[in-house]
Structure 1
Amino acid sequence: MKKVNFRLYKAILLLGGIAFFASCDNEVNTLGTDIIGGGNFETERVEFDVYAYNHKLSAVQTNGMPLYQLGVFNDPIYGKTEAGIVSQLYLATSTFGVVSQPKEEEYANDGKASTTPENEKVTKVYLNIPFFSRVADGETENNEDGNPVARKYDLDSIFGDKSAEFQLKVEELTYYLRDLDPSSGFVEQQEYFSDRDFSGHIGMILYDSVAKIDNKEILIYKEDDPDTDDVNEGDEVSQRLTPRIRVPLKNEFFQQILDKEGSDELLSSNNFKEFIKGLRFSAYNFSNDVLMLLDWNNANIQVEYQYDRVNTSNNNEIVKNNSSFSLSLAAFTINSNTGGRSKQNNVVNILTNDPYPSEIEGEMDTETNASRIYVKGGAGTLPELRLFDPPGDSTELKKVKGQGWIINDANLTFYIDREKLDALQGLTEPPRIYVYNLEDNKVLADVELDYTTSQDNNLAKQIFGGILEKEDDKGVRYKIRITEHINQILNEDAANVKLGLAVTANINYTNNVSAGAGENGDTELHVPEASVINPLGTILYGGGDMETGNEDKRLKLEIFYTKVD
């Protein structure tokens, strides 16, 4: 079998591409004689069948995500999805006030007027969950008079009505989210899935009231110092917070943390998480549908409290001092040097889908080469693709392997079923789709070898493609290049693995997570993490039989190759 050097392949890809577009008459061309020692090149184009199979996911792994979803999304194709969150809390300190608990106990018993226990008391608690946002153009921190103003931000990753109001509920979670899986002998990380039901493990309600999305930053002002008569510190901004969900929580729930100062419950992070197991976040009673993708790794709970101190310079007067601490909700921390992620909390997205329309349900988990491919993110669908031959067959592939073809280009073009989509109202089309090695749970070589970048994550890796192409502001097709993948199959004896198809929220997120499919949800598959955090869906033409008039939209594998005589 003839091996093709990859650098040679890349050079000939460029030269072959130039030759192909410069001459469409299939004449023999002589190119690159100094590269491969001369010879005739014959550029050819060939198509092969693609076999597509729709699978419905029963659940997807949702712990350890880069962001989390909260709210309701009504997809015109697939129906409604509701999203809630459960999250552990991370406490970074075990000492409150100024001195440790043993010292406070000493002060309580020494009988001295110059010492006193600190008697920490929670005064305010705020939940902070930021939106993804950036300062809007032209916004400034002060008005023409020099007074501070709250700047407007452009909010990102919010689907639906940004002016919608909804009821936000925050509740105590009484279920311990363990780190390690006992079925693996406590060696592997515990996986938590989108269909997990925590409703039987709920305690105190910490908040249950109206919340809304606001695109203005939140200004936190200083407290006025009564000893400075000529200055009002209350007019000075001490902190500017980006737009976020910010609501008060019940003081008494967090007072129990202060009351445990010096105890075993605060001795370690694991001890604390067994003491305070976490919170559940849900939203309901929407004035209009809205799904928020939240910056959970910058979310926290800010706890403000007072404690006693003795003012020895003023007759040992006991005064109240203010302090605060925060509880992180982050699923992980990011190493600023390596970009690596270190686990901090277990955070789980709960995703509940309404049943799909009967037309779509009937196309799930069959052995028929699908004429329509149903693609939905979240805990949605998983289309499976087979190139050249159906499962269990390799007839077509055997005919072309070992022919010594130099693969100039190989692509899959997915045409959108506009007839079905145009009949729907309020549809947001996925800006990008993604193909990956479903069999081995790996990215394709074409993704790894594509170094094109963009400030917009959905426009990076443009050679690989998968970007929505539009005409008259409507999506028409997605084109994905799998040139090196096909080269490896035909010329390097790589396996013709089954491929997975998914929407993606960020082409740079190539990590895959576990998923279940089938009627009983007992088949373990893997889906891109970036598809789990993308709620969008679409309908594409598949590889099965097409009705009259749509034959040219049938999914095919298209290969341009150069044959060396």
Structure 2
Amino acid sequence: MYNNSFFKKILIVATVVFLYSCDKDYNEVGGDLIGGNNFDLNKASYGVLGYNQKTGPIQSNNLEVNPLGIYSNSNFGETTANFNTQLTLPVFTTVVSSNPYVESVVLTLPYYTDPSQTKVNADGSRAYVLDSIYGVEKAKMKLSIYESGYFMRDSDPDSGFQQQQKYFTDQNTEFNNLKKATLLNDSSDKSQNEEFFFNPEEHVVVTTDSITNVKSTAYTPPGMKLNLSRDYFKTRIIDAVNSGKLASNDVFKNYFRGLYFKMEKSGSSAGNLAMLNFRAGKITIKYNEDLVSTTAAGITTTTRVKKTIELNLTGNTVSLLNNDFTTSGAAYAALPSTGNRTDGDDKLFLRGGEGSVAVLQLFDPKDLKGYDANGVLTGPNGVSDELDDLRNPADGKKLLVNEANLVFHIDADEMSSSNEPQRIYLYDFKNSRPLVDYSLDPTSNSTNPKKSKAFFDGMIKKDATSKRGVTYKIRITNQIRNLINNKDSTNVSLGLVVTEDIGIIASYKVKTPNSFISQAPKASVMNPLGTILYSGKSTVPVEKRLKLEIYYTKPN
């Protein structure tokens, strides 16, 4: 009995795996073949109304990655990205002995690099190429770091401390006005302040053993490495230990309220912008102190010892963005906050950060007729006539949707000199949640999670010669199946944004919500780029026009 039961279970599991594999292969292969018209399928195209919706200032606290720097874009103006973060203590310090002396205070923060382009030299050193950086390579900027005077709360008192405290992209003036006066990165090396740049070179540290005199070389990947004021941290940190200021994070975060990173132009340099994981950063304070001890015989000895205090950049954070349209981005700046909701806009401007969303409505909105439960024609019913006809085919034969896509054509002329977002994201705009096609997509990428949800897609398709973007495609097969097969399904408005990470689906609040928009995807706030797409308006050339493409079959 045991063996029979065991083998039956194995057979069932094997059958399920086999069927899943076949279905998975069919979907993936079928999707490619349908796109190439290799199946004898019917194809129908339907109109899509699209208009622009600006977010205005938007929530930007505690993002997974944050921009830092200055980025000029001919289509979207110039953005200066500043940053504020609390510091936290991984280890509490309650006592500092006598005669402390600070040897060094160093802030380190790793940069993103492209591992596929890293080269290893014969001596063990490496040549790196920075990733997630936009603008002129090695462009100089003025970087100023100050102690923050702004206390960032964990929770919102207006909600009874039940919700996270929100901070917004337009609060730079508040944080700047409350910063402490002393410049912390005050090194005489101008590359650490007045002429700072994102350096792709690795850090090399050569040490000599005090006993053997043997030299050793250590290499660390590229990253921000700044010497901070020793005197300042001696006074503010080391001298504050014995008064209990570093005994808990709650006390410490109120005492030392964090760091404010301020970016400015350096001379005539346009600057550039990098995406950074500030939570991987830290401040290392190395100091010496006298450790006094007394033996049982009453003999007192003093030993000079080395100590270290680390401060992590893992508290509350906020991305602070200043947008300037005086020299570029005039067309975007001139867009109304809400576009033409009746006829649609000619072009869709997607912009991350404090940016804009495209709002889409599938099917022609014309509603002159309807159908009752028996399929008999009636008057207008609040449903698009195109959708009504799909639900109630004249021959009575329900169509079987094999695939449904939205293909977005990039305005290549306008985007020719701009960095292009690698991915866009389509979601339920009305309810601020993912579409069913996103949720049902099981594809993942262990080496690069940002490339997961590959069947849902949204990744840029580039021209083989120019290497510039041509289109984005998003599959919404199940969304369309539900609309056709379930007459109770609502044809909700869809939102389209740039995304920094397809795996992040949470939404962030706009600072001033209205009847048109109240929130936008968090991953869009994280992305510093923008793109311009053609809409589905009749004034757009047919070959560039946005359409809903449905591939289907009908039963005999």
What range describes the TM-score normalised by the shorter chain of this pair?
A: 0.7 to 0.9
Closer/same/farther in 2, CA of residues 214 and 379 from structure 1, 3 Å limit: same
Aligned-pair identity in percent equals: 31
Give the match for residue 370 of structure 2: none
Which moves more between the two structures, 171-180 or 446-455?
A: 446-455
1:432 aligns with 2:423: yes
Give the match for residue 340 of structure 1: none
Q: How does 1:242-281 map to 2 (within 5 A)?
A: 242-255=221-234, 256-281=236-261
8 A Cα contact 2:109 2:225, kept in partner: yes
8 A Cα contact 1:402 1:491, kept in partner: no
1:206 aligns with 2:197: no
Give the match for residue 449 of structure 1: 440
8 A Cα contact 1:12 1:408, kept in partner: no
- Which residue of 72, 75, 78 maps to 1:77? 75
8 A Cα contact 2:119 2:126, kept in partner: no
- Which residue of 59, 62, 83 maps to 1:61? 59
Q: Distance in 2 between matches of 1:61 and 1:402?
A: 44
Closer/same/farther in 2, CA of residues 21 and 48 from structure 1, 3 Å limit: closer
Query: Segments of 4+ in structure 1 off by > 6 A?
Result: 7-26
| C-alpha deviation, 1:445, in angstroms | 1.8
Q: Distance in 1 between matches of 2:86 and 2:30?
A: 56
Which moves more between the two structures, 56-65 or 395-404?
A: 395-404
**CA offsets per residue over residues 292-319 of structure 1, 9 Å max, x none?**
1112121111111111124779x85533
| C-alpha deviation, 1:419, in angstroms | 3.7
8 A Cα contact 1:88 1:277, kept in partner: yes
Give the TM-score taking structure 2 as reference length: 0.80
Q: What SS is found at the alignment partner of 1:261? A: helix
Give the match for residue 506 of structure 1: 501
| C-alpha deviation, 1:371, in angstroms | 1.3
Q: Distance in 2 between matches of 1:513 and 1:130?
A: 27
Closer/same/farther in 2, CA of residues 216 and 410 from structure 1, 3 Å limit: same
**CA offsets per residue over residues 262-309 of structure 1, 9 Å max, x none?**
444334212111111111001223434210111212111111111112
8 A Cα contact 1:120 1:305, kept in partner: yes
**CA offsets per residue over residues 32-53 of structure 1, 9 Å max, x none?**
xxxxxxxxxxx53222211111
Give the match for residue 130 of structure 2: 155
8 A Cα contact 2:105 2:284, kept in partner: yes
8 A Cα contact 1:408 1:483, kept in partner: yes
Give the match for residue 324 of structure 1: 308
| C-alpha deviation, 1:179, in angstroms | 0.6
Q: What SS is found at the alignment partner of 2:113? A: strand
**CA offsets per residue over residues 242-280 of structure 1, 9 Å max, x none?**
211111111233222222324443342121111111110
Give the TM-score taking structure 1 as reference length: 0.79
Q: Distance in 2 between matches of 1:540 and 1:370?
A: 11
Q: What SS is found at the alignment partner of 1:359? A: helix
Closer/same/farther in 2, CA of residues 91 and 560 from structure 1, 3 Å limit: same
Closer/same/farther in 2, CA of residues 20 and 361 from structure 1, 3 Å limit: closer
Gaps of 5+ in 1: 1-6, 27-42, 105-116, 144-148, 331-344
Closer/same/farther in 2, CA of residues 153 and 489 from structure 1, 3 Å limit: same
| C-alpha deviation, 1:25, in angstroms | 9.9
Which moves more between the two structures, 450-459 or 528-537?
A: 450-459
- Which residue of 522, 525, 548 maps to 1:532? 525
Closer/same/farther in 2, CA of residues 25 and 61 from structure 1, 3 Å limit: closer
| C-alpha deviation, 1:236, in angstroms | 2.5
Give the match for residue 184 of structure 1: 159
Which moves more between the two structures, 375-384 or 456-465?
A: 456-465
Closer/same/farther in 2, CA of residues 390 and 201 from structure 1, 3 Å limit: farther
Give the match for residue 120 of structure 1: 100
Give the match for residue 150 of structure 2: 175
Supply the AA of the counterpart residue of 2:485. Answer: N
Give the match for residue 379 of structure 1: 354
Q: Distance in 1 between matches of 2:301 and 2:53?
A: 72
| C-alpha deviation, 1:120, in angstroms | 3.2
8 A Cα contact 1:172 1:279, kept in partner: yes
- Which residue of 324, 327, 349 maps to 1:354? 324
Q: What SS is found at the alignment partner of 2:52? A: strand
Supply the AA of the counterpart residue of 1:241. Answer: T
- Which residue of 504, 507, 510 maps to 1:515? 510
Closer/same/farther in 2, CA of residues 352 and 138 from structure 1, 3 Å limit: closer
Q: Distance in 1 between matches of 2:477 and 2:243?
A: 61
Gaps of 5+ in 2: 1-19, 187-192, 368-381
Closer/same/farther in 2, CA of residues 325 and 219 from structure 1, 3 Å limit: farther
8 A Cα contact 1:84 1:282, kept in partner: yes
Supply the AA of the counterpart residue of 2:324. Answer: D
Give the match for residue 213 of structure 2: 232
8 A Cα contact 2:51 2:344, kept in partner: yes
Q: Distance in 2 between matches of 1:94 and 1:439?
A: 47
Q: What SS is found at the alignment partner of 2:302? A: strand
Q: What SS is found at the alignment partner of 1:486? A: helix
8 A Cα contact 1:63 1:349, kept in partner: yes
1:307 aligns with 2:289: yes
Give the match for residue 462 of structure 2: 470
Supply the AA of the counterpart residue of 1:483. Answer: T
Task: Kindly report the root-mean-square deviation, in angstroms, between the aligned alpha carbons of the 2 structures.
Answer: 3.2
8 A Cα contact 2:75 2:330, kept in partner: no
Closer/same/farther in 2, CA of residues 523 and 129 from structure 1, 3 Å limit: farther
Q: What SS is found at the alignment partner of 1:205? A: coil
Q: What SS is found at the alignment partner of 2:237? A: helix
Q: Distance in 2 between matches of 1:21 and 1:173?
A: 54
8 A Cα contact 1:436 1:499, kept in partner: yes
**CA offsets per residue over residues 62-120 of structure 1, 9 Å max, x none?**
1121111111111121110110000100012332xxxx54xx8xxxxxxxxxxxx4443
Q: What SS is found at the alignment partner of 1:156? A: coil
Supply the AA of the counterpart residue of 1:200. Answer: N
8 A Cα contact 1:218 1:240, kept in partner: yes
Give the match for residue 3 of structure 1: none
**CA offsets per residue over residues 514-548 of structure 1, 9 Å max, x none?**
23578xx786533233222222212111122315x
8 A Cα contact 2:118 2:126, kept in partner: no
Q: What SS is found at the alignment partner of 2:438? A: helix
8 A Cα contact 1:69 1:349, kept in partner: yes
- Which residue of 209, 218, 222 maps to 2:203? 218
Q: How does 1:458-497 map to 2 (within 5 A)?
A: 458-471=450-463, 472-473=465-466, 474-492=468-486, 493-497=488-492
Give the match for residue 400 of structure 1: 390
**CA offsets per residue over residues 330-367 of structure 1, 9 Å max, x none?**
3xxxxxxxxxxxxxx11111011123744334443133
Q: Distance in 2 between matches of 1:92 and 1:17?
A: 50
Q: Distance in 2 between matches of 1:187 and 1:264?
A: 29
Give the match for residue 15 of structure 2: none
Q: Distance in 1 between matches of 2:92 and 2:39?
A: 77
Q: How does 1:290-301 map to 2 (within 5 A)?
A: 290-301=272-283
1:543 aligns with 2:543: no
| C-alpha deviation, 1:17, in angstroms | 6.9
